Amino acid sequence: MGIFSRLKTLVSSNVNDMISKAEKPEKMLNQLIIDMNEQLIESKKAVALAIADEKKLERETVNQQTQAQEWERKAMLAVQAGKDDLAKEALLRKQEYDSAYGEYKKQWDAQKAAVEKLKVSLRELQNKIEEAQRKKNLLIARAKRAEAQQKIQDTMASVSGNRSAFDAFDRMSAKVDQMEAQADAAKELDDYTSNSSLDKRFAELEKSDASADIMLLELKQKMNALPDKS
């Protein structure tokens, strides 16, 4: 079970370090999946070694049991041959192998139980990694959306905090309006001046004609008043 405790500690350490330094969530998540798979490979190797140890204990347990059975067979063979002393020696050997068998059997049972727990933990770890892989793309999409929203907020905050460009634009717009108004006023004044000059010219012309008429009339009256010399 120690290998999974070490794995958990290592992965947690890596995750905390990467999250604290993360600037690119996509890069971080991809690296996490890589780290998890690497640790999964190491865990599989460790579980395989534990299984190998369990198989070794199993073989030794069976061997001790087989040896005990063999010495019992030899003891019975000695009894049948009337050699009790040899039978006793055989039984003592059987007793030694029985004792060793009992110890190996306990170790084997304990190792089998540990291996089963390791297998369960390994399956759970593999399931979590597969789940993390499925969630990775969703998390990346959420991270990108959050990043885009943050950029919008930063832009709006920047606009709200710095109105100089917009104020300058408004001032320029007002200046253009003023320029247009002045141009319209100048044109209107020019048109008015032109019309006034034309009216003045016609008025002078009319005045000139009226004066000539008066002078002509006065001349005719003067001529009529003169005595007739014929």
Q: State pLDDT tens for residues 54-64.
A: 999 999 999 99
What whole-number distance in Å separates Cα of residue 147 and Cα of residue 121?
36
| Residue whose token pair is 């395989």 | 48
In whole angstroms, what is the distance from residue 167 CA to residue 164 CA? 5
pLDDT confidence of residue 210: 62
Check whether 230 has a pLDDT greater than 60. Answer: no
**Under 8 Å between Cβ of 115 and 8:** no
- Which pTM value belongs to this model? 0.53
CA atoms 132, 133, 136, 137: torsion sign: negative
DSSP reduced 3-state for 29: helix
**Three-state DSSP class for residue 227:** coil
Q: How far apart are CA 91 and CA 57, in angstroms?
A: 24
The H or E element spanning position 127 is helix 84-161
How many CB atoms within 10 Å of residue 77? 13
Question: What pLDDT does residue 17 have?
Answer: 55
Question: Where are the domains positioned within the chain?
Answer: 2-162, 175-224
Q: Per residue in 130-149, pLDDT tens? A: 888 888 888 888 878 887 88
pLDDT at position 229 over 60? no
